[in-house]
Amino acid sequence: MRLKWILLVSLFIAFACVAAYADDRNDATAYTIAIHEEDNNTPAWNNNDEDFDFATRGFIATDDPLIIPSAYPGYNAWNMENYSFLNNTTCPDTINPLLFRQAQLNNIHGLFNVTDGIYQVRGYDVSDISFIKGDTGWIVIDPMVSVETAKAALELVNRSIGDYPVKAVIYSHPHVDHYQGVKGVTTQEDVDAGDTEIIAPSGFMEHALSENVYAGNAMFRRAVYQYGIRLPVDEKGNVDIGLGKSPSYGTASLIAPTIDISETGQKLTVDGVDMEFQMVNDTEAPVELNIWFPQKKALFVAEDCTATLHNVLTLRGAQVRDPLAWSNDLKQTQELWGDQAEVMFSAHHWPRFGNEKVNEILENQRDMYKFINDQTLNLMNKGYTMDEIASMIELPDSLKQYWYTYGFYGQIYMGVKATYQKYLGFYDADPISLKRVPPEEFSTSITEYMGGADAAMERLQKDYDAGNYELVASIAHYLVFADPSNMAARNLEAAALEQLGYQSISGTARNAYLSGAQELRSTEPINERSGVSEDVMASMTISELLDYLSVRLNGDKATGEDFRMNIVLTDTGDKALVQVKNSALIYWPDKSSSTADVTVEMPRTTLEQLAADPSVTPADVTTTGDAAVFDKFVSMLDVFDPGFNIVTP
């Protein structure tokens, strides 16, 4: 299995080389500055010094400057120097002061001693990498996004603490920032030889592959907005995502697990280190685990308890998470180890030191997710719609005093909408919502109803001048979709989105607003790279490859077609019977038919290439029967545009 692959969510060339642009960005308005002054009155400032204490405690060493070259010439995998402007003590008017403070906390980087025999490297990627010292070597938890950053972290640990072999790697869950750097700390050869174990929750491989494939093109494009990939790194652009600075952009890798963790209470000893696991599935990820280290009285809580309100549904898109399960699992975490834990560390941010502080955050974040779940359901059952509820719910004052309940990554309104979606779906029960007029058609009509674009623009400018930015962006959006060449409307919508971005506490919301503004102001085509790499395809079963081909099948091009193909992979022996009928692709793995219209023989790499990019003519294909059927099938497969429009039609 060829597993040295590049997943483009971790490379994003645009991240390393932001395109030249005319800097027509605005300053913060008086209304935005007033919102910042109001946020400065939050009670969370009363204990923010505690976070700086925890974030710097145990510091050992760092790289200075912290610049990690990428394997790809001309690029850096990581460059913390870009964010040095955040080290100033004065918050710029264009950054919400709460987000600015979180960004400063996330600027702290290096190797830290968590407790006896447990270390973390933080600020070398968007996620933390943890090192547990065993009898003879290291146990590594969550080797970050890229091979380059994980390798740099291991080198820092080895030269600071001692050079030891890696005896095990643990993936806490199947998000790319927790496993893609694995080949920076070990090799496939060491795993195959039994020198290194790879430990992960059951179902890890299924979710690691599927989440970034079937809806991958859409997710990658949306991630450009969430992570601010194309934004300049400065006070009017990308400053932080709340969980950390940004994903690194280097070489991605994957080594399949050798040990599965499947149930709470499961125990394992590796290199003299005792571990007890808690399964926390359907919380921050479909499968996820927490780890108790009884010898250290240390609790690792993966991504279920960090220094921010997390996403119930990530902006890049994913399966919706369950805030009730999240709350219940934090409750169980505390019941299992809350009376013993002296330190808690996670896959993002900094540890909590002392039994009192461990229990405090477990309880408060338990209640935070339960509050979101219960109050959303409460208002749903009173007949309120998703958007209404999102504007009605805010955390109680008792939770607002804690820094880690603020929405630096997720936001209350995002969690409410996601919870509504989980229980009731897209439909708000108003029949008008069943099937709406397509956006461009509706926008054209609503512009006419408003008396035309000129009349609407006059009103919009007054509302902008009055600080009504959400309203301006919403109405200007219709003018843009009615006539995307209307640059006055585009620029006004961009200006409104920009102020909303400056106001945002959430780093991801800020990035989304500012990315939309950037694209509205530009008339250049959006040039993104996306898709799923060849080596990701090499990790998939033949059924998963055929599922992805099913997604690529253009239903209109397949209208009226009815044919069957035998597909035989000459080098692996895999085979499948494929049928295209009723504009759908159906398949039967491990089967073939003597009455199929054509039998197609190819090496597995050809099927992988076909699934990855149907525009490339399949090589090494031998057909028996009607060869035109296979050619017709290939012509029905769509090539997705990785730079599809978002803020314009």
Dist CA 396 CA 489 (whole Å) = 39
In a domain, 326, yes or no: yes
Residue 580 has a CB neighbour count (10 Å cut-off) of 22
Peptide bond into 65 cis (omega under 30): yes
Q: Which residues span the domain enclosing 286? A: 4-367
Domain boundary among 317, 343, 367: 367
Q: 441 or 3: which carries more pLDDT confidence? A: 441
pLDDT for res 528: 79
Range 8-31 average pLDDT: 63
For residue 632, what are the contacts with CB-CB under 8 A and spacing of at least 6? Answer: 561, 563
Cβ density class 101-133: b for 16+ within 10 Å, e for less: bbbbbbbbbbbbebbebbbbbbbbbbbbbbbbb
Dist CA 441 CA 482 (whole Å) = 7
Q: Are 646 and 219 in contact (CB under 8 A)?
A: no
> Smallest Cα–Cα separation from 5: which of 458, 532, 448, 645?
532
Range 391-411 average pLDDT: 96
In a domain, 384, yes or no: no
**302-319 residue pLDDT tens:** 999 999 999 999 999 988
In a domain, 163, yes or no: yes
- Provide the token pair at 139: 């146990």
In degrees rounded to 5, what are phi and psi of residue 235? -70, -15
How many domains does the structure of the chain reveal? 2
Among 260-264, 411-415, 426-430, 562-566, the range scoring the smallest mean pLDDT is 426-430
Cα 582 from chain centroid (whole Å): 35
Range 616-635 average pLDDT: 96
Task: Using the predicted structure, report yes or no on whether residue 431 has a pLDDT greater than 60.
Answer: yes
In a domain, 223, yes or no: yes
pLDDT for res 318: 87
Q: Are 148 and 78 in contact (CB under 8 A)?
A: yes
Among 57-66, 204-213, 385-394, the range scoring the smallest mean pLDDT is 204-213
Handedness of CA 424, 428, 434, 438 (dihedral sign): negative
**488-539 residue pLDDT tens:** 999 999 999 999 999 999 999 999 999 999 999 999 988 877 666 666 777 7
Proportion of the chain above pLDDT 90, given as a percent: 88
Residue 423 has a CB neighbour count (10 Å cut-off) of 13
- If residue 563 lies in a helix (H) or strand (E), which one and from where to where? strand 562-569
Instruction: Fill in the DSSP letter of residue 231.
Output: S
**533-579 residue pLDDT tens:** 666 777 789 999 999 999 999 999 999 999 999 999 999 999 999 99
**288-303 residue pLDDT tens:** 999 999 999 999 999 9
Residue-by-residue DSSP string for 432-492: GGTSPPPHHHHHHHHHHHTT-HHHHHHHHHHHHHTT-HHHHHHHHHHHHHH-TT-HHHHHH
pLDDT for res 14: 41
Tabulate helix, strand, coil % of the chain (nearest 5).
Answer: 40, 15, 45
Domain boundary among 367, 385, 409: 367
Q: At what angle do helices 487-503 and 30-39 cross, to 10 degrees?
A: 20
Q: Label residue 214 by pLDDT band (50, 70, 90).
A: confident
In a domain, 502, yes or no: no
Range 248-265 average pLDDT: 94
Q: How much is the pTM?
A: 0.94
Range 351-375 average pLDDT: 98
Task: Using the predicted structure, report yes or no on whether residue 10 has a pLDDT greater than 50.
Answer: no
Task: Using the predicted structure, report yes or no on whether residue 378 has a pLDDT greater than 50.
Answer: yes
Q: Are 548 and 34 in contact (CB under 8 A)?
A: no
Rg (CA), the chain: 26
pLDDT for res 278: 98
**594-607 residue pLDDT tens:** 999 999 999 999 99
In a domain, 400, yes or no: no
For residue 406, what are the contacts with CB-CB under 8 A and spacing of at least 6? Answer: 42, 44, 98, 102, 308, 309, 400, 505
Dist CA 490 CA 481 (whole Å) = 10
Domain boundary among 334, 367, 400: 367
pLDDT for res 15: 44
Q: Are 344 and 365 in contact (CB under 8 A)?
A: no
pLDDT for res 9: 38
In a domain, 153, yes or no: yes
Q: At what angle do helices 453-465 and 487-503 cross, to 10 degrees?
A: 30
Dist CA 259 CA 261 (whole Å) = 7
- At position 173, the amino acid (one-letter code) is H
In a domain, 612, yes or no: yes
CATH of the domain at 110: 3.60.15.30
Task: Using the predicted structure, report yes or no on whether residue 91 has a pLDDT greater than 60.
Answer: yes
pLDDT for res 20: 45
Q: Are 358 and 352 in contact (CB under 8 A)?
A: yes
CATH of the domain at 610: 3.30.1050.10
Say if strands 4-5 and 197-201 run parallel, antiparallel, or are unpaired.
unpaired
